Amino acid sequence: MSNIKGICYSDAVFKLIKTSGKARLGTLKTAHGKAETPFFMTIATAGAVKGLLPEEVRELGGQVLLGNTYHLHLRPGEDTVKKAGGLHKFMNWDGPILTDSGGYQVFSLSKIRKLKQDGVEFQSHLDGKKIFLTPEKAIDIQKKLGSDIMMCLDVCPPYPAKRKEVEEAVAYTSDWAVKCKKAKGKSKNLLFAIVQGGMHADLREKSAEELIKIDFDGYAIGGLSVGEPNKLMYKVLDSTVPLLPSNKPRYLMGVGTPEDILNAVERGIDMFDCVLPTRNARHGYLYTSRGVVRIKNEKYKNDMKPLDPDCGCYTCKNFSKAYLRHLVMAGEILGLRLCTLHNVAFYHKLTKDIREAIRENKFEKFKKNVIKYMLKR
d(CA 313, CA 62): 13
- 100 among known catalytic residues: yes
Q: Evaluate whether 220 touches 251 at the Cβ level (below 8 Å).
A: yes
Q: What is the CA radius of gyration of the chain?
A: 20
d(CA 120, CA 131): 8
Residue 273 β-bridge partners = 41
Q: DSSP states of 116-131 as a string?
A: ETTEEEEE-TTT--EE
- What single-letter amino acid sits at 348? H
d(CA 133, CA 68): 13
Measured torsion, CA atoms of residues 354, 356, 360, 366, in degrees rounded to the nearest 10: -30
Residue of 100, 148, 154, 270 marked catalytic: 100
For residue 188, with 0-12 CB atoms within 10 Å meaning exposed, 13-18 middle and 19 or more buried, which class applies? exposed
Strands of 119-123's sheet in order across:
113-116, 119-123, 130-133
d(CA 147, CA 69): 10
Residue 39 β-bridge partners = 271
Q: Which of 133, 159, 138 is nearest to 67 (CA)?
A: 138
d(CA 112, CA 173): 20
DSSP symbol at 320: B
Residue of 154, 273, 303, 308 marked catalytic: 273
How far, in Å, are 43, 279, 371 from residue 284 at the CA level? 18, 9, 21
Residues assigned a catalytic role: 100, 273
